[in-house]
Amino acid sequence: MEALLTPMRQIAQTGGPVVVILMVVAVLTLAVVLYKIWQFAQAGVGRHKALTQAIAAWDAGAQADARAQLARSTSYLAPVVAMAMDSSESATPRLQAEAETLFSKLERGFRMLDSVAQLAPLLGLFGTVLGMIAAFQALQEAGAQVDPSILAGGIWVALLTTAVGLVVAMPTALALSWLEGRVEAERVLADKAILTIIAPASAERSSG
């Protein structure tokens, strides 16, 4: 643990307060991402085997079998599908609204992750600008006794904040993209489930 903390302390001391802020943001972002992964696992996101079997049975006209399959489902979408089985076509907007309520819970924290992905590079750039100002001030104070190493050292320290900002932003953007993709897949599944339950293919064949 100490082997990990030592270089982090050195980076914080070298980069100044902006790097410290970015490191705090990185820790908070990691906590949010881990919480979202845990939340998705607890909700059973992506695990809808019994639910899809119930939908397929309902679509085929086996309503009793569909209800039995649904009773075995642990999917968070099961209550919405059960409601659809007892509803008419006019209830479709209400059912979709119920599903969106569930998705809104899964999407909590996405706005924070999006803000971090967008603002971390800007915060890093802000630190670079401050560092460049300090470097040129030191160069001015040196007067005629200009040492190129003073400017070079100031520049690399200034650029460190931009690098840290990008290191924070890029994984955050990737994590957010993955989470959004999972929720979008869940939304497609919910829409298909609701429409299939409300208007099953078996009903169309019988009416035809």
Question: What is the distance between the alpha carbons of residues 175 and 204, in angstroms, rounded to a whole number?
Answer: 42
Sequence-distant (6+) residues with CB within 8 A of 196 are 55, 58, 59
- Which ranges in the chain belong to alpha helices (H)? 2-15, 17-43, 49-59, 63-72, 78-85, 92-106, 110-142, 148-198, 201-207
**pLDDT for res 111:** 95
**Residues whose CB is less than 8 angstroms from the CB of residue 71 and which lie 6 or more positions away in sequence, other chains included:** none
Amino acid at 13: Q
Residue 153 is predicted with a pLDDT of 64
Residue 140 main-chain phi, psi, to 5 deg: -65, -40
pLDDT of residue 19: 85
Q: Where are the domains of the chain?
A: 17-198
Tell me the whole-structure pTM to 2 decimals. Answer: 0.81
- Please tell me the predicted confidence (pLDDT) of residue 87: 81
Question: Degrees (nearest 5) of the Cα angle 193, 194, 200?
Answer: 80
Q: How far apart, in whole angstroms, are the C-alpha atoms of residue 82 and residue 6?
A: 55
Residue 133, pLDDT score = 80
pLDDT score at 97 = 92
At residue 3, the pLDDT reads 58
**Residue partners of 123: CB distance under 8 A and separation at least 6:** 18, 21, 22, 25, 161, 165
Instruction: Give the residue among 55, 65, 77 at the shortest CA–CA distance from 198.
Output: 55
- Which residues of the chain, if any, have pLDDT below 70? 1-15, 142-154, 201-208
Rounded to whole angstroms, the Cα distance separating 70 from 82 reads 7
**DSSP assignment of 37-65, as one string?**
HHHHHHHTTT--HHHHHHHHHHHTT-HHH
Quote the pLDDT of residue 101.
Answer: 92
